[in-house]
Chains A and B, each alone.
Chain A
Amino acid sequence: MIHKFSVRSAGIAEPDIRELGRSWELDDLEVWRDYYVEFEGAPEPSALSDVAAVLGDQLDVQVTLDEPLEPGAVQVAYKRGVVDNESDSIITVCALLGVKARAGKVATTYRSASPRLRDLIASTRFNATIEELHDEEPKYDTLVPQGHYESAVQHDLRGLDDAALTELGLAGGRNLSLAQMRHVQHIQETLGDEFVTDVLLEALDARWSDHCAHTTWKSLGSLLGRLVQAAKDVDNPNVLSMFHDNAGVWDFYDGHAIAIKAETHNGPSAISGYFGQLTKLGGVLRDILGTGLSADPIGSFEYTAIGEPEAPAPIKGRPDARRLAGETIRAIKEYGNTFGVPMMSSRMTFHPAYRAKPFALGGSIGLLPVSAAQRGTPRPGDFVVLIGGLTGNEGIHGASASSAGATMDTAAVQIGAPLEQVKFRKALIELREEGCMSALTDVGGAGLNSAVGEIGEACGVWINTALVPLKTAALPMWRILLSESQERMLLAVPPEHQERAKKILDRHMVRSTVIGRFADTGRYHVFHAPDLTEEALIAAAPDAVPAHQGETGFDVSYDLLDIEVERQEVGPPPRPTGAPEWPSLAPAELAGLLEQVVSDAEVASQHHADSQYDSTVQGNTWYGPHYGTEQAVRTGYWAGTPVAGSPAAAVLNTAFNPWMFDADPVAATRQMFCSAIAGQVLAGVAVRDICMCDNFYTPHLSENWREWLVGMVDELAGLVRHFGVPLISGKDSSAGSVQTDEGLVSVPPAVFLSALGKVPHRDNLLPEQWTTPGNVLVRVGLETSSPVGTVAARKLGLPSGGLDDLALSDVDSYLTALAASRTLLRSGARIGAGGVAATLAQGVLASGTGVLLESATTESLFAEHRVGAVVEVSPDDVGRLPAELNPVVLGTLAAGSGITLDGTDLFTPAARDGWFHSFTARIA
C-alpha cells in the first residue's frame, strides 16, 4: 500500500523558497516535499504516525497524510525507473521504526495562484528526460521500477552483405561501423557458432567505442603512445604508474604516493547539468578509488565551460547556460561535500563555443601507499565481486553516445548517489590494508561490460548477470551488462579472503555480491542463469565453470576481441601569424578597461559558487583555494598535507584558456604547459617534482581538427621531453561538435592541463598575500605580449591573430633563476587572465594594501604574461634579482587600497563592485 506524506513549513517559508519566490516574482509561492512510501501490506495508523514524526522532526514543520495535489499546485517527480537517492533512506527509516517498506519516492510540489507557475517550473525546474510533471495527483500502482528479462536476440551474420551488416551495426542505437561488423562476422565464423547475440553486439559496440577504445587517437597514429613514449624517455623516477590504470601515480614521500586523474562528462552535462556534473565528480573520485589497490581521494577540482548565460540554448528543449551554471554548482556542491573531499580549485568559463556541449571536467588526487600503487592482477579462481549501488536501466549507450557526438546526444543520463560511494570509500581502504583484493576497478562508462571485460583480460573471466542486484525486477542481459548506474566497483577477491571481505563490507553497510569468477581460460564469458545462486557459486571449486549456464550471452577468446583501427594520415596544422597592436589609452580609459576586465568571469570573484564547496574537510588543506585577509581571492595553487604528522605537501594548479586555443591550439598548448610549470616553481616546487594530467576536448566535425589534435599531442610530447615533466594520466574526448538548431557548433581544439607537484615541507611554499607597504612589486618572467586570447582584447574588440611563440631555452633560464631567487621573494602571484592589472587588483582586494604604479601602458597592464608573475621584494633586494628573471619594476606597495597612476586611481569603486558581483549577477 502506498501512502503520501507532505512535509512543509508551518510558519514563514524557508529562505531558499523565499528566494525562489523573489526570483520568480511570485509572492505567494509555496514549495514542499511529498514523500511517497510503498509499504508491505497495510501499515497500522500508529506506524504512519511514527514515519510522519521522523519526516517532520524539525521546528515549524507540519506533515499531512494522503492529501491529494490541490488545484493550482504543480508537482515534479522522477519517472519510475529513476530511483531517488532518498528512497533508501525512507526504507531505512521505516526499518528502524519496525515498519516494512518496499520503495520510496520524493516529489517537489509548487503552489501559487499565478498562471505563470507551470511554465516557470517547466522551463527551469523540470527535466523531461528523467522527470514527470503532474497537475493532479498521480496514481501509482507501485513505486518499484518495473523491468523484465528478454531472451538474447540471435543474429546469424554468415553470408550477410555489407548493407545488411551496416544496418545491423547501427540498429537499436548501436554505433558499430562496417569494419567492426565484419570483425563480428569473423568472430562468429571462428567460433563456428550458429549465431551471435545482441549481447555480444552491444558489448563490442561499447568495447570498440571511442570512449573505451580511443579509436580516434589510434587512427591518427597512436597519439597516446606518443605521450607515453615521451614520458618513458624522460624516465622521471617519481613516476610509479602512468596511463595503464584508472589514474596516474606519482611518488610522494616516505612510502606514500599520490594518484591524479581528471575526466570529462560533456555529453550528459548538456542534457542535464545537474546529473551530468554530479556524475563527472563521482566518476573521477571512483577512478581514484580504483587506482592501484585503491587510493583515498584527498582533493577534487573542477572546471566548467558553458555558453554565455544570457544566450538561449542552441537546441530546443536543452537547458540554457544560466540553468547549466546553477545545476553545475548544485551538483558539485552535493557530490563533493557529501563525499567529504576538499575542493582544491573550481572555475566556470562562459565561452560561446561551449553553448551546445559544455566542457565539464572533474579531477581528483588521492593518497595511497607506494606498495599499493601498481594495478592489481586478478588470479584464476578469484571471485568477481560487485559492490555499491544497484544496477538500473540508466545511461545505456552512454559511452557510445559520447563517441557518436550529435547523433546520440539524446541518451539518458546516469543518476548519481554520493552516499553509496561514501560508504565504500573507507571500506576499500580497509580491504586494501587487509590484503583482501588482488585487483579492483571502477564501473563507469559502458558499465560492467567495460569493467569486467578489462579486468578479466589478464586471465579470463565468467559472470552470471542474473546475480547482479537490480533496481528493477529484471532486465535483459545486455542492459545489465551496459547499464551505467553509478557508484559501483568491481573487485577481484581471492577465495581465502572472501569471508573477511564480506564482513568488512557489511560493517560499512556496503552492498556486495559475488557475480562470477576469474578463470584460466583467456575468455570473456557472460551468461544469465537465475537458478545459479551466489551461495552455490561461492561453494563451488575455484576452477569450476558452472555446468548449467542458463542463456549464454557470449563466450569469446580475448584474442578475438581486438580490432585494428584504420590509420589516417594528417599534415601539419595551419598556424596563424601576426597580432593586433595594443591601443594607447589615457589613465581614465585604463581605469575603464580595468573595470571591464575585472568584471569578466575569467577574473571576477566566483564566490557565489566557490562558497558552496567544502574546501577544508579532512583537515589537510594548507593553502588555498582562497587567500586574503580582506577579501577571499582565488589562489594560483592549492597545497595540502595529506600524511598525518608530515609537513610534506602536495601542490596542484591548472592551466586552460579556451580563447587561446581558439587562436592557435599548438601555441596555446606550449604556453599553458609552461604556465603550469612556472606556477609550480613559483610556489616552491622543483621542476623534477612536477607531473601533469591532460584532458583533450576536440571537435570532430570542424575544419582541420585532426591536424590540430596531432599538433597539440606532438607539442606536448616535445614539452615533456624538454622539461622532464611527464604526463602520467589523461583522457580524450573527440566529440566536441554538435549539430544544433543554429547549425554546427564546435568547441576549440584544446587540452586542459592539471599539474601536480610536491615539496618536502609546506613552510617552503610562497604565499600570494602582500606583506609590507613600501615593498616593491616586480613583474618577472617571459613576455607574451600578444593581445590575442586576452580578456582585455575581447573588451577592446581587437581582432584575432597569432600567439607569442615561447623559446623553451628562455623558459629554462627563467625557471632556474626563479628557483634560485626564492629567498628574495616576500610573496608572488602568477599572472593569468586579465594580465598584470588583474593580478594587482586581486592583490589589493586580498591584502587591503594599495599600489603606486611607476608607469603603465595598455600593454604593460593587460598583456597576459602567462609564464610570469608579480613578486614582492624589499626595496634593497630589487637590484639583486637576476637578469634571467627579466625583472620589470611595476610600483610600490602603499597605504590605502587603490592602484594609482599619475594621481589617478585606476581601481574604481565600480570596478570593485564588478569584481564582487558580476559573476553572480549573470547566473543567479
Chain B
Amino acid sequence: MKPTVNVLYLPGTNCQEETVRAFAEVGATPRMRFAADLLAGDDRLDDADILCIPGGFSFGDHLGAGAVAGALLRSHLADQFEACRTRPLIGICNGFQIAVRGGCFGKVGLKVNSAGTFRNEENQRHVVDTDNDSPWLTGLGGQTLSFPCAHGEGRFDPGSETSGYRVALRYEKDSNPDGSFEDVAGITSLDGLAFGLMDHPERAVDREVRLAFFENGVRAVR
C-alpha cells in the first residue's frame, strides 16, 4: 500500500497542485481534503498517514495570514487536527502559518516581513540544521538547498518560546529575505513530526531538491 497524504484545500489555497505532484512523485497517494467536505463531515482530515497544509492565501488571509484557517483547526476540526499531530505533518508557507496558529510549535509567531511587504526570490538558499533528527530532514543535515521564496508574513519570531520547537533550516548567511530571528527558515515540533517552512521546495527546478523533504516524510511512514 502506498502511504496516503491528506492535502488540506481551503478557500484561497493555491499551491495544492505542485504539492500533490511532489508527493505523487515520491510514491505516495495524495488526496485533496476540501474544507466544505470536512465541515459537512463527508471527509476526515485524520484518515491518512501524513497531513500536508500547502501554500496560498487561505480565506484571503484577510484577518492575518492563516488566522481563519487556524480558527477552523482549533474549533470544528480540533479533534482531527490533534490526531494528525501524532503523525508526520508538513506546513508550507501559508500552511506553516496555519500550523503555527494551530499550536504545532508552541507560542511562536510569523510576522510581516521586515521589508514590510511580500518578497519573491527565485533561488533562495537554505542550510539544513545538523542537530535536528526530524524524519523530514533525514540525511539532509548540513546541505544547502536552493528553492523559491515567496511570502509576505514569514518573519519568524520565537517570542518568549524556548522549548516548543526546534530549528530545521536557516536562510544562508546574509540572504535572510524576511528578517527572521537568527535566519530561521523552518522549524519542527519537539518530536520532529510537524515540519513548517515558509519557502517552497515543491517549486524547485532541481528534482532532487524539489523532492528531498517529501521523500523523507513518505519514507518515515512506509
Contacts and interface: CB of A to CB of B under 8 A. Distances in A.
B90 interface: no
A85 B57 CA distance: 13
B29 interface: no
Given A59-B157, A507-B37, A333 B112 contact: no
A89 B114 CA distance: 26
Contacts of B108: 59
A19 interface: yes
B36 A338 contact: no
A568 interface: no
A616 interface: yes
B71 A419 contact: no
Interface stretch (A91-99, A208-216, A582-590, A647-655): A91-99
Contacts of B60: 85-86, 88-89, 338, 417-419
Q: Which 7 residue pairs of A and B lie closest in terms of their CB atoms, listed nearest first?
A: A340-B14, A16-B116, A59-B109, A619-B18, A419-B60, A616-B148, A89-B62
A610 interface: yes
A887 B148 CA distance: 38
A338 B14 contact: yes
Interface centre among B37, B70, B76, B117 (most CB of A within 10 A): B117
B216 to A, nearest CB: 19
Contact of A340 (B56, B61, B113, B115): B56
B36 A506 contact: yes
A616 B122 contact: yes
B63 A89 contact: yes
Interface stretch (A50-58, A441-449, A728-736): A50-58
Given A54-B63, A60-B109, A86-B62, A333 B12 contact: no
B214 to A, nearest CB: 12
9 contacts: A85-B60, A88-B62, A93-B71, A340-B15, A422-B12, A507-B36, A509-B36, A612-B117, A617-B55
Interface in A44-93: 54-55, 57-60, 85-86, 88-90, 92-93
A85 B202 CA distance: 29
B72 interface: yes
Contacts of B70: 54, 57
A423 B11 contact: yes
B170 interface: no
Given A15-B116, A93-B71, A618 B18 contact: yes
Interface in A99-116: 106
Given A333-B118, A626-B122, A54 B62 contact: no
B205 to A, nearest CB: 7
Contacts of B36: 506-509
For this complex, into which size category does the number of interface residues on chain A fall? Answer: 35 or more
Contacts of B122: 615-616, 621, 626, 632
A371 interface: no
Given A59-B108, A59-B111, A617-B15, A16 B117 contact: yes
B68 interface: yes
B11 A419 contact: yes
B76 to A, nearest CB: 6
A611 interface: yes
A298 to B, nearest CB: 11
Contacts of B205: 621-622
Given A85-B60, A96-B71, A337-B150, A644 B21 contact: yes
A770 interface: no
Interface residues of B, number: 57
Contacts of B72: 96
A57 B116 contact: no
B17 A618 contact: yes
A15 B118 contact: no
A54 B117 contact: no
Nearest to B205: A622
A337 B117 CA distance: 12
A339 interface: yes
B11 A58 contact: no
A613 interface: yes
Interface string B73-107: 00110000000000000000000000001000001
Contacts of B101: 57
B48 interface: no
A614 interface: yes
Nearest to B76: A96
A892 B12 CA distance: 50
A920 to B, nearest CB: 12
Given A333-B118, A338-B61, A617-B14, 9 more contacts: A89-B60, A96-B71, A508-B34, A509-B36, A614-B118, A615-B150, A618-B17, A619-B200, A619-B210
Contact of B120 (A97, A417, A419, A614): A614
Nearest to A296: B17
Given A85-B62, A97-B71, A509 B118 contact: no
Given A96-B71, A508-B34, A508-B36, A15 B114 contact: yes
A339 B14 contact: yes
A464 to B, nearest CB: 27
B67 interface: yes
A507 B122 CA distance: 33
B151 to A, nearest CB: 9
A14 interface: yes
Contacts of A35: 63
B43 to A, nearest CB: 10
Nearest to B24: A644
B28 to A, nearest CB: 16
A669 B114 CA distance: 44
Contacts of B121: 611
A189 B143 CA distance: 81
Given A14-B111, A508-B34, A422 B120 contact: no
Contact of B63 (A90, A614, A617): A90
Contacts of B119: 611-612
Contact of A419 (B12, B15, B76, B116): B12
Given A14-B111, A16-B116, A507-B36, A617 B64 contact: no
A55 B18 contact: no
A96 to B, nearest CB: 5
Nearest to B108: A59
Contacts of B109: 58-60
A278 to B, nearest CB: 13
A422 B121 CA distance: 23
A55 B63 contact: yes
A338 B57 CA distance: 6
Given A54-B63, A422-B57, A616 B15 contact: no
A89 B62 CA distance: 7
Nearest to B117: A612
A86 B63 contact: yes
B71 A54 contact: yes
Interface centre among A57, A93, A333 (most CB of B within 10 A): A57
Contacts of B116: 14-19
B12 A338 contact: yes
B179 A15 contact: yes
Contacts of B150: 337, 614-617
B66 to A, nearest CB: 9
A337 B62 contact: no
B63 A14 contact: no
Contacts of B200: 616-617, 619
A78 B55 CA distance: 29
B159 interface: yes
A507 B116 CA distance: 35
A97 B70 CA distance: 12
A12 to B, nearest CB: 11
Contacts of B113: 15
A434 to B, nearest CB: 15
A731 to B, nearest CB: 27
A497 to B, nearest CB: 19
A506 B119 CA distance: 33
Contacts of B15: 340, 617-618
Nearest to A54: B71
B35 A509 contact: yes
Nearest to B77: A96
